[in-house]
A and B are shown apart, each in its own frame.
Chain A
Amino acid sequence: MESSEEAAVEKCRIHLRPGTLRDAPPATLHLLPCEVLVNRPTPVQCFFTPAIRQGPDGLEVSFRGRRLRGEEVVVPPSLVGYVMEEKGEVLVGKDPSVGSSNDDEPEQQELVEPPEALERDFDRFFGATGSFSRFTLWGLETIPGPDARVRGALAWPRLAAAVSRRMSPH
């Protein structure tokens, strides 16, 4: 049982719907200098966004009583940022860790997609639900500044292009 599940994992393809890339509405993003250990909807617009102030040298806000200082990071024009979500059918009810709380969920709609050669029954599906070309980078007490690691990461694609550029044979 376990080994056949493993095999399915390696065979699996996660399809990304190309159409969602051009229709994705702009998303507002903040990178916080702390770990919030949950993934869930949260009223950012009620508590966080209205508290942002333009200080003498950057943005200021507080989160859980701590002062944050921040600045806008503009993504290089060669890159597009996307918020991607995986939506899919999940079998529930058999495995207790997936959630007995979902036991009473009615059977919902099937994914209505035309069958394509590259798509198989056990595959999964992703779509972009938002796009961004900038985000707000926050630091605790101080502005993260030009040395912020995330800025270095944004420079990576240009180097990767050099490493992977194909050469024509002589």
Chain B
Amino acid sequence: MALNKSSFFVKISPYLNRQHVRVSQHNRCSSHFTYSPDPKPAIKGEKTKMNMFQAINNALETALRTDPKAIIFGEDVGFGGVFRCTLDLQKKYGKDRVFNTPLCEQGIAGFGIGAAAAGSTAIAEIQFADYIFPAFDQIVNEAAKYRYRSGDQFDCGKLTIRAPCGAVGHGALYHSQSPEAYFAHTPGLKVVIPRGPIKAKGLLLSCIRDPDPCLVFEPKALYRAAVEEVPVSDYQLPIGKADVLKEGKHLTMIGWGTQVHVLMEASEILLKEHDISCEVIDLVSILPWDRETVCESVRRTGRALIAHEAPLTSGFGAELAATIQNDCFLNLEAPVARVTGPDTPFPHVFEPFYLPTKWRCIDEALKLINY
């Protein structure tokens, strides 16, 4: 694990210039999505162009500035993080507040829980969501159950765990996973996934200040690719609330993270070439999730397509499909469709065939319409 991480991203990337990386990535595998920026954020005030890692950095800086008890820790966060999310924070706020930990995920999660229980605002980083599993016990058995089991005497609500997730073009088995469904099965946790810089900043600040332990999975493909006019002010966006990004009448498409952009593109093609109007929903929050917005939409359109990168079986799409079936039974004109990664590990050279591409989504949407 250590070898993968360090050799793959830390050791080599600082020596390569950015342009070079971008060119080689492009040659290896062209991106499977086109980023669609948030049209106009409802947040007032000054805005600056930021990509997603800069927006996250800005949120973390805001957290450190506004909360003297906030600390940031994890593997390699001191020099700025392997994805640059913690850039300059140690310089500004000191080694006591932004620091490297030993290379041990269960330690990072346990340490974060304890720090939060004793009053710190603990912001932990797991270098890749793929490496969160050694911390699974601490997150599922401890963090999630801390308040419940003590009768609300103790809690670790001031804990937030950030982890880069999702496909990145060439990440293979251990730099591509989307583990949200594992955590969606755990009462006591909150799980969110941003689709871009504005959302990432607002959600992260909400999670840091939320009274419950939160997991933020950040699609790493968006760190540099997603650029938006991000509000400079200190703002928060709600956990548990989905966003309707595009209104439509024939079909409801539901996704999160990078997949939202795949769905946006698919919906445009469906409209242009097939005259099908899709409603596109970013679920944003996996736990708790916005049942009302999703089911209200499906009741109107009569058709639902759910798409996620994670494997099909017991993926979070299954939860959505079951609930939609329950709440919208009389309105459904076709079975609920799921376009997901196959039930295989995430492969290296086969990534283009693994992903729930816009073509697979379009194909499935047409089947729903013609059902």
Please indicate whether A and B come from the same complex rather than being unrelated chains. no
